[in-house]
Amino acid sequence: MDSRYRDRWIECLDDRIQIRGYYFPWGTKRIPYSAIRSIRRVEMGASSGKGRIWGTANPRYWANLDPRRPRKSVGLILDLGRFVRPFITPDDPDAVEAIIREHANPGTSIENSGRGPFI
């Protein structure tokens, strides 16, 4: 499989996105692009992602391990049609968003919604 994008925690392959450090202690979550219903781009603040290195205080979202998250300003929320939505912070969110947009089903919505949720 060819990697279209890769940083320490996020990798976009031809058929899926892989999120390292998602499960305790170091498990990888693999999400086929076809499973993504929508992607939401959010601006992070102290209580909306920047202060959270791993996990969540909000049961609707789960942030993978990313020790550099406090220095980032943009996060992506993936809606998989389940109660918990992955919250990721790739080093290059524009590239990851473009790859998902390219591989997503035609009904997948892409939103820029401003400030992120409490995480």
Q: How many CA atoms lie within 13 A of 56 on its CB side?
A: 18
Q: How many independent structural domains does the chain possess? A: 1
117 falls within a domain? no
- pLDDT tens for each residue of the chain, 119 residues long: 678 999 999 999 999 999 999 997 779 999 999 999 999 999 999 889 999 999 999 999 999 999 999 999 999 999 999 999 999 999 999 999 999 989 987 667 777 767 888 88
* Host domain of residue 7: 3-110
116 falls within a domain? no
21 falls within a domain? yes
119 falls within a domain? no
Would you tell me how many other CB atoms lie within 10 Å of the CB of residue 101?
13
118 falls within a domain? no
115 falls within a domain? no
pLDDT at 33: 96
86 falls within a domain? yes
